[in-house]
Structure 1
């Protein structure tokens, strides 16, 4: 399992798929389904300080991921997911995501289908944590960049 320890700040993330010629935007407005979940948990809070959709408020997340050094490779993996599953509501079965992670991921977790297991808030840094804790269970994120490369995350569970 990779542990991301570098801490850095950012205002908002752009979770839109990255094309071959696109570059990550700094401080731009998020687009697509992932941004709708919002990295801003200040809206929609009800009793107990939980957001209405439960995103971003849990203590632990169970996730799988694909990590690639090159943007072109992560885009290829994402296209494979889109062709097979993402066009059907961003839901990719765990077994299918695992096959693509084993094929494309450059992380040691790729051998285990990208499985990172359960991890607490604060263990992963920056964009990886934001996307992990703001992606609905069963949904696959769009590609995004961190200091470690380009990722796609499948959120498998959340708990407090």
Structure 2
């Protein structure tokens, strides 16, 4: 356990031990996963699903609670406070303004997707929200 044990530990100049690369990779992956778990959504189902196996929804995705709350307040002030359903065109306008997802440019339209493709909480809300109804903000990956 003389000189060789120090070199194997990687404390010399120049080379980093393989474990350090794995540790860095793990930290990057953990940071990405933490970022994904903080996504907040508002979902609107706007077409009936085909035999409950495929869905078609719009959504607004934001990383910050304040931003999703602001978008939801706009929806509430215009429609939800009256108990009315938010028209798809109005939801699309707010999605284009607030959503941080690439689908925001298309009014939050996610197109048709099969059951099982979306993350658990999002899928549950998307498939269980009545047509035309807008969900409250919720967290999803």
Shorter-chain TM-score category?
0.5 to 0.7
TM-score, normalising length from structure 2? 0.63
RMSD between aligned residues: 2.2
Structure 1 Cα separation of the partners of residues 83 and 131 of structure 2: 12
TM-score normalised over the length of structure 1: 0.56
2:58 is aligned, of 61, 64, 68, to 64
Q: Which residue of 2 aligns with 1:129?
A: 123
Q: Does 1:96 align with 2:90?
A: yes
Q: SS at 1:145's partner residue?
A: strand
Matching of residues 1-160 of structure 1 within 5 Å:
58-89=52-83, 91-147=85-141
Q: Which runs of 4+ in 1 moved over 6 A?
A: none
Which protein has the larger Cα radius of gyration, Structure 1 or Structure 2?
A: 2
Deviations 1:130-153 (A, max 9, x none): 000000001000000012xxxxxx
Q: Across the two proteins, how many residue pairs are aligned to each other?
A: 95
Cα distance in 2 for partners of 1:137, 1:116 equals 15
Q: Between Structure 1 and Structure 2, which shows a larger proportion of helix residues? A: 2
Question: 1:135, 1:141 within 8 Å by CA — same for their partners in 2?
Answer: yes
In 2 relative to 1, CA 123–101 (structure 1 residues): closer, same or farther, beyond 3 Å?
A: same
